[in-house]
Structure 1
Amino acid sequence: MRKKVVSAAQAIALLRDGDTLCCSGFGANGVPVELILALEKRFLDTAAPRDLTLLFGGGPGDSAQGGANRLAHTGLIKRAVGGHYGMLPQLGKLALSNQIEAYNLPLGVISHMYRDIACGLPGTVSKVGLGTFVDPRLEGGKIGSKTTEDLVSVVSLGGEELLFYKAIPISVAFIRATSADAEGNLTLEREVLTQDVLAIATATKNSGGLVIAQVERIVERGSLNPRHVKVPGILVDCVVLAQPENHLQNLGGGYNPAFSAEVRVPLDALEPMPLDERKVIARRAAFELKPNAVVNLGIGMPEGVAAVANEEKILKFMTLTAEPGVIGGMPASGLYFGAATNPDAVIDMNQQFDFYDGGGLDLACLGLAECDPSGSINVSRFGPKLAGAGGFINITQNSRTVVFVGTFTAGGLKVALQDGQVRILQEGRAHKFVQHIEQVTFSGPYAAKAGKTVLYVTERCVFKLTAQGLELIEVAPGIDIERDILAHMDFKPIINHPQAMDARIFAPEVMRLNDTLLSISLVDRMQFDTKQGIAYYNFQGLKVHSLKDVQDIAQAARDLCEPLGKKIAVVVNYDNFQIDEAVVDDYAAMVKVLSDAYYTDVSRYTTSAFMRLKLGEALEQRGLAAHIYETPQEARSTAHKT
């Protein structure tokens, strides 16, 4: 048996001109730095190997000079095929300047491609990418005029239009683990993610390639628990023991045991976000969270939604996830994106995308960079900056609900929040709502045709996607539609009857989302008994804090009553009902409008003498029957007489 534990230089000496190199690493997490540096050194010293194809998924870099950015040398790289370039700006520069051939494909497609290469298939078939810049009828994922070969084509299978992504056999793989024995068996106990190291190793081995693993420590043969071995030694050709400084958990430095599930830490200790425009946006997006929902949060602005959910004590009622495979806990932000504090599980990235692509996500919250009148979004390319799509296309095309978040304008925007009002002190230099976006990362028409729920949340307003394009549905207090919204858009959205954004979003205290999240939905609270001809409204435990709450109740009542085509009797349960003093008059006015339009009679009851008095007075002032019964039997008896 040949010796598998070798030096980095010995392993790198095996690479040849024209090889296809696959490099693991998700952003700054789990990057095989020792191997990358050794390859760069060999090339700078000997000008070999040359003309490599670099295949990667999550952009193994630090958005500056680290990680695979060290491979961005003309002559070393001939072609790059990657999912996310935002952490690899040096490689992006080579691509945009046509010094190399380059492609940007969806991260989930690349992740699945590893498995398909391992199976010996000619490529990967997926609906992901249809209608976006990776669709060959648009750009085919190509970057720059030097890139001419078609890697993506349109096919039809089972009567469904799909995209076919050509397989890329792998010559050499750089992967990373924590421990290895002399036979090359690998465990990942101190790693943030398992990434796709098994799929990459299998794909490389079955392509006739070479698998090189960087590890933190070498252990005795037979000492690894076989159930903890992630990559078996039969798939590994070389093991390189890294220098400690080249095997950091994250390129940002240090080691966080909560990221690797070594310990669990109290989340209560995390500081809440300051009340600014970022928190306003995150708060409004958090209103879309639902109990038991499975949620994906993107990098950047969406990270604030996790912070708000933690502050509002609602994290435990849902499951937050990130595309590299973390499930549960609180997703990390910034350079640590991809990790999670206190995760419930960490699975391979390709398995996570199985779940995502199959429709497993209830809600996805992602960034908003450019948006056109049709609701299409660009987050992947901006002139001289190449961000790449990452998992954005997989996630937005397949999540049941999508919420895009971002400031209304960019570049110098200054916002003040005073007395529950939003004031624009200085407008951003760049418009985000433009007539034409530079690249289609999310197709509004494709989503609208599929009937997807899509919202666009900013600090001053909210839009939703309709079949006709963007509709303005909410406006922040203090914002003038003409002055602060339309004047800074390159197109006019649909405007019908926009409502005020919830006042709680702009107040310094917590929003009590816990109460809102756990309350029974209004649809379930309001039911019509066809046999008795009576509607029953169960408002027990309902909390009405804002005008929007009042408006939501009114809309739910209209949705129930209008299809009936006749006036009906209603019985309302007000036990443990709570209403803020500021909206009592609004509530009573709403009841008056509904009563005139839809009800023959309304019988109300509650065991609370205070509520009978408080609500009774408000109803009496509106000329409505003010008597509120103490028991449901009395109320139902009156309704039946009617």
Structure 2
Amino acid sequence: MHFYKGINYYDSPTIIMGRIMNVDSALGGINDGSVVAISGFNIAATPEFLILKLYERYRDTGHPRDLFIVADTLPAARERALDFVAKSMIKDGDFDFIRGFMLPFLGVAPWLQRLAIENRVEAYSFPIGVATKWFRSVASGIPTITKVGLGTFLDPRQDGIYLNDLARERRTCKVELVSINGDEYLLYDCPKPSVGLIRGSATDEFGNLTMSEEAIYSSVLAITQAVKAQPNPGTVIAQVLYVSRFVNPRDVHVPGPLIDHIVVSPPEYHMQSASVKYDPSVCGRFMLSNACLSDNDVPDFESAIARRIVLEFVNLVERLGKPITINLGIGIPALAARIIKSEGIDDYITITVESGPWGGIALGGDDFGVAISPRAIIPMPDQFIMYEGGIIDAASLGFMQVGPNGDVNPSFLSERVTGPGGFPVIAHGTPRLYFAGAFTAGNRDIVVKNGKLTIVRDGSIIKFVKKPYKIGFNAELGLKAGKDVMYITERAVFRLTSEGLVLEEYAPGIDIEKDVLAKMEFKPVVSRHIRPMDSAVFREGPMRLLDVVTNAIRR
């Protein structure tokens, strides 16, 4: 007889109804060839215990095998959860457990990337917002049709959603060009999931699932609905940390009748993010009034880029005369969250993260998707409606390459398969885009001091190229949609126009010809009104932006 947190499982109504059980019994009904939907944004809301135990079951028995995995983002971090499974498959040389996957993001999962690059399994990738929409569409019995991806690598006239040759050959998931009333759209399709592996914080004795201690909601409810929808309703297995006698009905995220089996996880496989075991400020239990992860005093060249991004957001507050809502992408743009907080202007610039948090301080790296002291957390499908519909005011996204007409490759190289992530949906819908990143790549020594930028040793890899490897943002379509688009680096700021890129600003201390124009594979238009970047970006100490935004709001 098993006791946990004072609950005798075998005396509870849930056990009588057969929902709470040991993990082997819960996973025992998953058949060979199943399509398994898994929740999770990196480790946040990822049922890591269920994933590892399912793979352990395969290694012990040879079953289930030939699984096809679909997810709303990425249920993994480096060598954790699904990436640990991929590592083990490669080390063992056994590729029969997973026959393929559709994962929107692989950036923090190097072993899953290897499975795709080495053509070991079928590998497909929808944008995150399309994947969340797809789960809801499956639940509703309707096709997933959107303009997201037109004119980019996702368009079947370019590469499509196929990450390797096995995917191009088998087409288990597909993207097609369709016409509705003379307009072009993309139709995304994948097989309906027969199994759902989800995660919540606790369940009550009737199986109702709450996510009250999770950092995000992910697409847990949408995945559950997709699995349970007709035809052929499937099996939903939930991982929880606690069993409670009572859960407030208003806190129930997934009603008990939609869940077939519940497994209690050891705490080490139920963390809020890759490095956060439990922090009440992450799940909204309380807000830290003094939360700040940067003193914003001595900028390096990456934080100088982040400071210039923040200046553009402040300029937007001034132009609109109201607070704004934004999105920050992974990498250098995410650093802007710390600047906004340390400048004390987070009441006027609300940051959203793809996974669902609004406000607070977004974490980076393998913890990306989680925020400290968010003011609101909404389900990820709803968050992406905000992006696709252009409901937010602006976004700053990273770039790897920029082409002569402003096309952006966010992250793709021949030897690196990261997936589109949330980039295509945000770039498609958001009315103002500030692409941000270092001007060059490679081994660099770039110094920020006394309001100037000094390039001691420049990177050898050029990022402003004649032809980007893949297109994630189509500049021509962006201009047609009336978007305001800028490209912000540590040494130069460009604006997108019908003539291509226009160089508008340069960093104090650099030589425009030697440090900018000579390090590009094409020649941009140089503005007749070119000016130095604000030296405050390169100086120690805060930029004192609170007075600027408060005065703008008062006008």
Match of 2:268 in 1: 245
Q: 2:134 aligns with which of 105, 113, 133?
A: 113
In terms of mean alpha carbon deviation, does 400-409 or 252-261 score higher? 252-261
Corresponding residue of 2:363:
332
Q: 1:406 aligns with which of 417, 428, 437?
A: 437
Q: Which residue of 1 aligns with 2:159?
A: 139
2:526 match: secondary structure: strand
Q: How far apart, in 2, do the equivalents of 1:265 and 1:496 lie?
A: 45
Matching residue of 2:299: 275
Post-superposition offset of 1:451: 2.0
Amino acid at match of 2:532: A
The 5 A counterparts of 1:81-230 are 81-121=102-142, 123-148=143-168, 149=171, 151-206=174-229, 207-220=232-245, 223-230=246-253
Identity among equivalent positions (%) equals 37
Gaps of 5+ in 2: 1-15, 90-94
Match of 1:42 among 57, 60, 76: 57
Asked if structure 2 preserves the Cα contact closer than 8 Å seen for 1:195 and 1:325, the reply is: yes
Q: Hey, what's the Cα distance between the residues in 1 that align with 2:47 and 2:552?
A: 49
Structure 1: how far apart are the matches of 2:459 and 2:549? 34
Say which SS state the counterpart of residue 312 (structure 2) adopts. coil
- Cα deviation, residue 520, structure 1: 4.1
- In 2, distance between residues paired with 1:268 and 1:120? 44
1:347 shift after superposition = 0.9
Structure 1 counterpart of 2:47, which letter? P
Give yes or no for contact 1:368–1:406 (8 Å, CA) kept in 2: yes
Give the counterpart letter for 1:232 in structure 2. Answer: P
Does structure 2 conserve the Cα–Cα contact (< 8 Å) formed by 1:60 and 1:88?
no
Tell me, yes or no, if structure 1 residue 27 matches structure 2 residue 50.
no
Give distance in 2, aligned partners of 1:372 and 1:136.
21
More relative contact order, 1 or 2 (CA 8 Å, 6+ apart): 2
Count of matched residue pairs: 519
- Note the alpha carbon deviations across 1:57-107, whole angstroms, 9 max, x for none: 221211x21121133231111111111111222111111111111111110
The Cα shift of 1:167 comes to 4.3
Contact 2:292/2:341 (<8 A) preserved = no
Q: What stretches of structure 1 of length at least 5 have no aligned partner?
A: 526-642
Could you tell me how far 1:479 is from its partner in structure 2? 1.1
Query: What is the deviation of 1:314?
Result: 0.8
Query: Who is 1:603 aligned against?
Result: none
Q: Distance in 1 between matches of 2:449 and 2:372?
A: 34
More divergent stretch after superposition (153-162 vs 498-507): 153-162
| 3-state SS in 2 of match to 1:388 | coil
Q: Does 1:355 align with 2:383?
A: no
Which one-letter code corresponds to 1:504 in the other structure?
A
- Tell me by how many angstroms 1:508 deviates: 1.0
Contact 1:20/1:172 (CA < 8 Å) preserved in 2? yes
Question: How far off is 1:307 after superposition?
Answer: 1.1
Alignment of 1:568-579 (within 5 A): none
1:505 pairs, out of 537, 544, 549, with: 537
Aligned position for 1:263:
286
Task: Report what 2:7 is aligned to.
Answer: none
> Once the 2 structures are TM-superposed, how far is the Cα of residue 2 of structure 1 from its aligned partner?
4.2
Paired residue type of 2:85: L
Is residue 341 of structure 1 aligned with residue 372 of structure 2? yes
Trace 1:488-567 onto structure 2 (pairs within 5 A): 488-497=519-528, 498-520=530-552
1: distance between equivalents of 2:283 and 2:451?
41
Distance 1:449 1:354 in 2: 21
1:4 aligns with 2:35: no
Counterparts of 2:305 and 2:547 in 1: how far apart (Å)? 20
**Contact 1:356–1:395 (8 Å) recurs in 2:** yes
Distance 1:286 1:126, change over 3 A: same
Residue 512 of structure 1, CA deviation: 1.8
User: What is the CA–CA distance in structure 1 between the aligned matches of 2:467 and 2:199, rounded to whole Å?
Assistant: 42
Q: Answer whether contact 2:431 2:483 (CA < 8 A) is retained.
A: yes
CA shift for structure 1 position 449: 2.0
SS at match of 1:382: coil
Residues 218-247 of structure 1 show CA distances to partners (whole Å, capped at 9, x for unaligned) of 122xx1111111000111010001012111
The aligned counterpart of 1:601 is none
TM-score by length of 2: 0.90
* Structure number, greater radius of gyration: 1
Greater shift, 176-185 or 296-305, is seen at 176-185
Is the 2:72–2:219 Cα contact (8 Å) retained in structure 1? no
Distance in 1, Cα, partners of 2:98 & 2:125: 15
**1:27-71: per-residue Cα shift (whole Å, max 9, x none)?**
121211110110111122222211111101221211x21121133
SS at match of 2:332: coil
> Which whole-Å CA distance do the structure 1 matches of 2:492 and 2:294 have between them?
27
Deviation at 1:491, TM superposition (A): 1.3
Would the aligned equivalents of 1:379 and 1:387 in 2 still touch at CA under 8 Å?
A: no
How far apart, CA to CA, are the structure 2 residues paired with 1:310 and 1:81?
36
SS of 1:86's equivalent in the other structure is coil
Amino acid at match of 1:212: I
Give the secondary structure class of the aligned counterpart of 2:237: strand
TM-score, length-normalised on structure 1? 0.78
